[in-house]
Amino acid sequence: MFKRIDRLQIDLPEPNKPDPEAAGVIQELLGGKFGEMSTLNNYLFQSFNFRSKKKLRPFYDIIANITAEELGHVELVANTINLNLDGSVGNGSTNPDDTPLAPVLGFDNKFNFIAGGQNALPVDSTGRPWSGDNVFSSGNLVNDLLHNFYLECGARTHKMRVYQMTDNETARELTGYLLVRGSTHAIAYAKALEEITGVNMMKMLPVPDLDNSKFKHAQKYEAKGIHRKIYRFSDNDYNLLDRIWKGPAPIGPEGQLEVVDELPEGGKIPDLDHVPEEYAPGFDEEQFRELSKRLQYEAGM
Ligand code: MN
Ligand code: MN
């Protein structure tokens, strides 16, 4: 089962101006074949389907624990998209005849404004829905780990490309952080494969062959040692992560790999204002006030 914490894994800065084009390409990191929906659901189903858990506990722990981190990545990417979309339409008018949504005609990612009310959706950068076809859960542990290694390398490639498409602070903060975390996952699966097969996977890393230190927004996280940590996303379980996650960091600044019990320091969940021309969430000030009175909570107005 899962317990939820109403925090993001990092603090996302607000963009200084709306960037709907950036939001459109970041959709690939959410609902694309190599996006966070895919890493999440691959590890989720592999953890459900894992056999001989008692005999292979450290490998089960790695896959199950990283699943929880990936769900937080889905959350982080969706919030980045929303922050970038915010304020990109509207002309101050709520009169439909003033065409307040006209700017959408010039965007590639119209789905964010038609199917969504100016918000993230589980689709790729072209609007194609995320699919269960993206899940590989073969039941064979080596094959699944090999797939996960490949998936993390592919995901890293896409993040590196999106990083180079936009320089807005929110997008860069996200991609810089995810580059570092994706690298730890690639290393974790590589180490798991090494333990089982004896093959030296580290010789292949990083894929693509370009250090995270070449990305300014990744440097900061490496300097803090985030590339050496696996967070244990559970109060009492997944206690054998350190049987695989140990030894010197194979890439990035030097230091020992460590399993940490504390969750990432994290940041607040953005609370974006209503968008009347999208009817999102669909109440005016008077109705907000009425509801908060009726349900007896402080609505902060
Ligand atoms: Mn991820
Ligand atoms: Mn990952």
Q: What is the DSSP string of 146-165?
A: HHHHHHHHHHHHHHHHHHTT
Residues, CB within 5 angstroms of ligand 1 (ion): 36, 39, 70, 73
pLDDT at 298: 85
> Residue 26: which of 106, 104, 124, 116 has the closest Cα?
124
Q: If you measure from the C-alpha of residue 37 to the centroid of ligand 1, how many angstroms do you get, rounded to a whole number?
A: 9
Structure tokens belonging to residue 130: 């995320």
- CA 60 vs CA 68, 150, 155, 223: distances in Å: 13, 18, 22, 30
CA of 140 from ligand 1 middle (Å) equals 22
Tokens read off for 53: 């858990």
**In which residue ranges of the chain is pLDDT below 50?**
none
Phi, psi torsion values for 129, nearest 5 degrees: -65, 145
Please tell me the distance between residue 72's alpha carbon and the centre of ligand 1 in angstroms: 8
- Residue 175 alpha carbon to ligand 2 centre in Å: 12
Please tell me whether the peptide bond between 208 and the residue prior to it is cis, using omega within 30 degrees of 0: yes
Q: What is the pLDDT of residue 90?
A: 83
For residue 154, which ligand has an atom nearest its CA? 2
Residue with tokens 């600044």: 253
Q: What structural domains and CATH numbers belong to the chain?
A: 20-270 (1.20.1260.10)
Q: Of the bound ligands, which one is closest to the alpha carbon of residue 182?
A: 2
Q: How far is the CA of 279 from the centre of ligand 1 (A)?
A: 32
Distance 70 CA to ligand 1 centre (A): 5
CA 267 – ligand 2 centroid, Å = 19
Note the pLDDT of residue 92. 81
Q: Do residues 40 and 78 make contact, with C-beta atoms less than 8 angstroms apart?
A: no
Residue 55's pLDDT is what? 98
pLDDT, residue 46, reads 99
- The predicted pLDDT at position 49 comes to 98
Buried b / exposed e across 217-250, counting CB within 10 Å, b at 16+? bbbebbeebbbbbbbbbbeeebebbebbbeeebb
CB 119 within 8 A of CB 86: no
Q: pLDDT, tens digit, for every residue of 208-221? A: 999 999 999 999 99
Centroid of ligand 2 to alpha carbon of 289 (angstroms)? 42
Q: How far is the CA of 105 from the centre of ligand 2 (A)?
A: 34
State residue 173's pLDDT score.
98
